[in-house]
Structure 1
Amino acid sequence: MLDTLFSHVKPMDTVFRGDGLRDFFLYRDLGISEATGGKVIAQLVVAHNAPEKGTGWHRHEAEFHIVIMLRGWARFMYEDQETLVSAGDCVHQRPGVRHFLFDYSPDMEYLEIVGPADFKTIDVEPVCPIPAPRGWAI
């Protein structure tokens, strides 16, 4: 017996919503959580508001987490390493890595795939100082 379902989600099947993890991003569910019975979530994430404070230092309780940048860029701190993630880049966030997304472009869009789907986000103590976001020029 299979414990996953076939899933085919078209762009018009789901909408970007503002009720995700961060209020300055919008999220579009791709139907994978339902199809896998909660084993994995896949979602598109887009910039909604200009960066002000960023995500804060945190880690995720997840077995698997990748980010594939589709458009634009984002600047992260992974532990004490500043990392520019640009369109076409793929980042595997190892379980428990402390990180902080602190800057991103107005056109930023990434695909996030995480297992399990109901992963937890835990705030952590700062690892190092964070550069200031550049903001969006008007």
Structure 2
Amino acid sequence: MLDRTDTKFSHVKPGDTDYVSGGLRDFFLYRDLGVAEATNGKVIAHLVKANMAPEAGTGWHRHEAEFQIVIMVNGWARFMYEDQVTLVQAGDVVHQRPGIRHYLFDYSPDMEYLEIVSPADFKSIDVEPVCEVPPPTPWA
């Protein structure tokens, strides 16, 4: 029999939650999808979208997380994963292995991605730069 004591059913429709500031990055807006509450903090799922043009980006960091994927829904973003420039475009899926050092440094004005991370209260830890980062593309 399926154990339902640790999680509950959740169904969030587009109008149920708004995009809000106050998330991990002030230049993004975040829309909670109810998964953290439904899983008692085991997993978080949120939509993240551009709110301001890229200036300094996220800086070099890593996450203390067991699992993390990014699914690009709209637009594009350029990341440094270790010393590799990676263009992530709408439709792409990225699995970020635990502890990978990365830097989101550029994105389009219409960038929006779904991020799923476990645990929900994962930490972002600043790290020493891995390499030089290209400049962002100015928004028109």
TM-score by length of 2: 0.97
Name the amino acid aligned to 1:57: W
Identity of aligned residues (%): 77
In structure 1, C-alpha distance between the alignment counterparts of 2:48 and 2:83, rounded to whole Å: 24
1:30-69 matches, within 5 Å, as: 30-69=33-72
Q: Runs of 5+ in structure 2 lacking a partner?
A: none
Offset of residue 42 of structure 1: 0.2
Mapped contact 1:103–1:135 kept (Cα < 8 A): no
2:103 equivalent to 1:127: no
Offset of residue 13 of structure 1: 0.8
Give SS of 1:16's match. Answer: coil
| Pairing partner for 1:6 from 5, 9, 12 | 9
Offset of residue 128 of structure 1: 0.1
In structure 2, C-alpha distance between the alignment counterparts of 1:108 and 1:130, rounded to whole Å: 19
In structure 2, C-alpha distance between the alignment counterparts of 1:109 and 1:116, rounded to whole Å: 21
Post-superposition, which runs of at least 4 consecutive aligned residues in structure 1 deviate over 4 A? Answer: none
Deviations 1:39-98 (A, max 9, x none): 000000000000000000000000000000000000000000000000000000000000
Mapped contact 1:62–1:119 kept (Cα < 8 A): yes
1:98-137 matches, within 5 Å, as: 98-137=101-140
In structure 1, C-alpha distance between the alignment counterparts of 2:30 and 2:138, rounded to whole Å: 21
In structure 2, C-alpha distance between the alignment counterparts of 1:70 and 1:64, rounded to whole Å: 19
| Pairing partner for 2:20 from 9, 17, 22 | 17
Q: Runs of 5+ in structure 1 lacking a partner?
A: none
The root-mean-square deviation of aligned C-alpha atoms, in Å, is: 0.5
Name the amino acid aligned to 2:70: V
Deviations 1:99-135 (A, max 9, x none): 0000000000000000000000000000000000012
| Pairing partner for 2:86 from 83, 86, 90 | 83
Aligned length: 137
TM-score by length of 1: 0.98
